[in-house]
Structure 1
Amino acid sequence: MSATLYYFDGRGKAEIARLTMAAANIPFNHETIREKKQFETMKSEGKLLFGQLPMVEFEGHQLVQSSSIARFFANRANLLGSNEEEKLKIDILFEGSRDFNSAFMSYGFVGFTEVLDKAKATAMPKYLPIFNSMLSKNGSNGYLVGSKISLADIGLLEVVLTIEELLGQDELKPYAEVQNFLTTMKSNELIHKYLNSKLRPRKNDEKYVAEVKSVLY
């Protein structure tokens, strides 16, 4: 059964859900919210528990909250670890990736270069060494925990792809394990298919920012 994702015409807070559904081999389609009326109707119908997007409809569920959506699909595909120790590590690292990712979420909404300059000065020097170290400690298999892809990897992938696209691969050169990780993740058949599909929205631009603001405000 396929899922339906409701979100704006961009990556935003829905991208972690898209990446996780892709890695979990869950087919999905995208219902784009472009008008305030669409958003208000969903709220009035009680489909958005906290009045926020994204929302995913799947097997009778109306799933909200980005991380919860990701965990739901990761659990279905056994991407949360094979024992209690792995589960704990994966959850901690996934949450760390969410903190890291937050440095880029306002890209375009509070400026373009301003957001990147701040991320380069604060978030990247803090988080990249940590994730590089964790990858190194786990061995040379290119994953953060265990010997296969997990939700922690999907969370980190989202941020590293953003860095690569918005700032260039040179920013990753000091972090050999992160570079190896990116290669490993991109070679995953399901991830590769999604990243090269029409289901993946474009990066934030002025048109997207204006469209989101017109729906929310």
Structure 2
Amino acid sequence: MSVTLYYFDGRGKAEIVRLAMAAANIPFTQEFVREKKQFEALRAEGKLLFGQLPMVEYEGHHLVQSASMARFFADKGDLLGSDEEERLKIDILFEGTRDFNSSFMPYGFLGFKEVLDSAKATAMPRYLPIYNFLLSRNGSNGYLVGSKVSLADLGLLEVVLTIEELLGEDTLKPYPEVKNFLKTMKSNELISKYLKSELRRRKNDEKYVTEVKSVLY
């Protein structure tokens, strides 16, 4: 099975897809779009349905839309719940993490300090208490739904890793369940392997922002 992810040389909207493939134990390679001509070629070949990245080539198909791709690969790894009720809970909580994560996506593109200041003032006080409560309510297993990793956990992990990296682990002290969740997720063999691998890209920096803009504009 050949799986290739096409995206810029950074995390961005592809990171949740990478996490889903990693947690589902689906090997993949990456093709980095660094020049405008690469991007235009993909569009001209009809491989980007909505003219956007990321895109995954999977068994002859060209998959787009990051959340849909994450669900697709999570399904392959049995990460969407054991019954209808769990599937619904996981999907709702996953969508919540997408809203939460959107506060950090412009990091670098709309300023570095500015984006973090906004996230600290609005998104973090709104979402962290909710997810801390949900983790507490689900018991001591360290997951949001059920007793094993789900797509909802991967969505939250992406945001919490960002917070830890950009603002420091101490930022999570008021949210002990979230802090424990992070520890639990990092101890997962497949996720740990991915986080330590070259598949995981660097955080946004000036070079990345400049490169993306040169491709798109």
Give me the TM-score of the superposition, normalised by structure 2: 0.99
1:71 aligned partner:
71
Question: Mind listing any 5+ residue stretches in structure 2 that lack a counterpart?
Answer: none
Amino acid paired to 2:3: A
**What is the count of residue pairs matched by the alignment?**
217
Q: Counterparts of 1:178 and 1:60 in 2: how far apart (Å)? A: 39
Q: Counterparts of 2:152 and 2:79 in 1: how far apart (Å)? A: 9
1:50 aligned partner:
50
Amino acid paired to 2:177: E
1:23 aligned partner:
23
SS at match of 2:56: strand
Amino acid paired to 1:47: K
Q: Judge conservation of contact 1:2–1:26 (CA < 8 Å) in 2.
A: no
Q: Counterparts of 2:115 and 2:166 in 1: how far apart (Å)? A: 11
Shift of 1:120: 0.2
Q: Judge conservation of contact 1:80–1:90 (CA < 8 Å) in 2.
A: yes
Shift of 1:159: 0.1
1:84 aligned partner:
84
1:146 aligned partner:
146
Alignment identity in percent?
80
Amino acid paired to 1:207: K
Shift of 1:61: 1.6
SS at match of 1:51: coil
Alignment of 1:122-161 (within 5 A): 122-161=122-161
Shift of 1:139: 0.3
SS at match of 1:50: coil
Q: Judge conservation of contact 1:98–1:155 (CA < 8 Å) in 2.
A: yes
Q: Does 1:33 align with 2:37?
A: no
Please tell me the root mean square deviation across aligned C-alpha atoms, in Å.
0.5
Q: Counterparts of 1:201 and 1:103 in 2: how far apart (Å)? A: 19
